[in-house]
Amino acid sequence: MGEVIWDKPNEVPEWVIEKVDNNVLASQLPRKPLSEIEFFAHYSVLTGLPPGTQVVGIYPHGASYWTRTAAIRTRQADGEPRTFFLKVSHHESGKNMMSSELVSMTLIRDTVPDLVPLPISWGAYAANSDIHFYLCSFHDMTNDIPEVQPLTAKIAELHKKSLSPNGKYGFSVPTYQSKWPQPVEWKDSWEEFFLLSLKWVLGKEEESQGYDAELGQLKEALFEKVVPRLLRPLETGGNHIEPRLVHGDLWDDNCSTDVATNMPIIFDATSIYAHNEYELAPWRPPRHKIGKPYIKAYFRDFPVSAPESDFDDRLTLYCIRFDSLSSALYPGNLRFRNIIKEKIRFLVEKFPNGCEGTHSRKGSISYT
């Protein structure tokens, strides 16, 4: 399989992080209760930088494919140095991306305060209203993933404490998977919500890579047979799950260890209220450093959903969702398309009759 290398230019202009815009410095609106989620979608500033902040400099920091990111070094009113992290995008999509990240990160922060940087504000630049930013506290991080137990315990804590406010699956505002807004319309069942999400991402994959006749047939069986077979038992036959807040894209590049505390820290959230095991999908493929030991440790704090015997296959199904997004991002490189075809074929052959059929517990799949 060909190596996957991102070779596309960043379309966000460099000038957006060459100086600190006046609106980044603004302190305009008081914080509203989290129950009023709509507040975040319609107003531009949550708190702003502390009064008396003096900017010392702004410097590019980190890497991003579709935003510009920077560290803002300041001196506070009491003379103490303090650094902030700035993320900048553009156009209507950038506006929605920045505002929805604030929603996601604030909800996580309010649930497990030490797990994410402190969200401060989002808004449009005074210099150009088509430029949009997200501002949060800055943390020095290591260049590696967190240790197993500290990370999995915190993620389990997040899932335990963060039930959906209306008992449904979805989210209050569109959150972004890479550069695209994902479906977040509220649904009563996880099966219904996930199927909609899976169809969306496989549609994006086909737009990117083109039509494939074999994959088309496999997708039809996946939607009609496999999804009901693996997800319906979670909510029927006496089994029960609840929609819980997930980070939504928790893989190697979206978490690290805080140098000051030596504790895990996660970022770049694209949250939804989902089945908690959905969060674990990026931990399954061996190409990621967060792997099976993390899954095993997570279940010490949050037990496997019933039926437990379906877990491996459910996670394969959830992996298809994430691998399809990866394929959509690299037109012309079929590495991830081949991976998803292998996984779909495996599940379709294992569950040819869907909910009505019987299946064998034999067989395995290689995660590459």
Residue 323, pLDDT > 70, answer: yes
d(CA 32, CA 46): 8
Position 236 confidence tier, pLDDT thresholds 50, 70, 90: very high
Is the CB of residue 106 less than 8 Å from the CB of residue 35? no
Reported confidence tier of residue 31, pLDDT bands at 50, 70, 90: very low
The residues that bridge with 101 in the sheet, in sequence order, are none
194 band by pLDDT with thresholds 50, 70 and 90: very high
Q: Tell me the pairing of strands 255-257 and 264-266.
A: antiparallel
Q: What is the pLDDT of residues 199-215, one digit of tens each?
A: 999 999 999 999 999 99
Is it the case that residue 249 has pLDDT exceeding 90? Answer: yes
Question: ω before 51 within 30° of 0 (cis)?
Answer: no
Q: How many CB atoms sit inside 10 A of residue 124's CB?
A: 18
Closest Cα partner for 188 from 156, 161, 164, 160?
164
What DSSP letter does each residue of 84-127 carry, written as one string?
A: EEEEEEEHHHHHHHHHHHHHHHHHHHHHSTTSSPPEEEEEE-SS
Tokens of 125: 């630049």
- Residue range 186-190: mean pLDDT, rounded: 98
Mean pLDDT of the chain: 89
pLDDT digits (tens, 9 = 90+) for 143-162: 899 999 999 999 999 999 99
The whole model's pTM is what? 0.90
- The residue type found at 279 is E
- Identify whether the C-beta of residue 309 lies closer than 8 Å to the C-beta of residue 238: no
Whether the pLDDT of residue 189 is over 50: the answer is: yes
pLDDT given for residue 367 in this prediction: 34
pLDDT value at residue 40: 41
pLDDT at residue 310 in the model: 98
Which sign, positive or negative, has the C-alpha torsion 143, 144, 149, 151?
positive
Q: What is the pLDDT of residues 214-223, one digit of tens each?
A: 999 999 999 9
Give the DSSP letter of residue 293: H
What single-letter amino acid sits at 137?
A: S
Task: Look up residue 110 and give its two tokens.
Answer: 């309010």
Band (4; pLDDT cuts 50, 70, 90): low
pLDDT tens column, 355-367: 985 444 434 443 3
pLDDT of residue 30: 35
Q: What is the rounded distance in angstroms from the CA atom of residue 10 to the CA atom of residue 318?
A: 29
Residues 269-298 pLDDT 10s: 999 999 999 999 999 998 999 999 999 999
Q: Which pLDDT tens digit goes with each residue over 341-357?
A: 999 999 999 999 999 85
Q: What pLDDT does residue 71 have? A: 95
**What pLDDT does residue 44 have?**
38
In this prediction, residue 53 carries a pLDDT of 84
Cβ 308 vs Cβ 331: under 8 Å: no
Per-residue pLDDT at 42: 38
pLDDT per residue over 60-81, tens digit each? 997 777 899 999 999 988 999 9
Sign of the C-alpha dihedral computed for residues 187, 188, 192 and 197 taken in this order:
positive
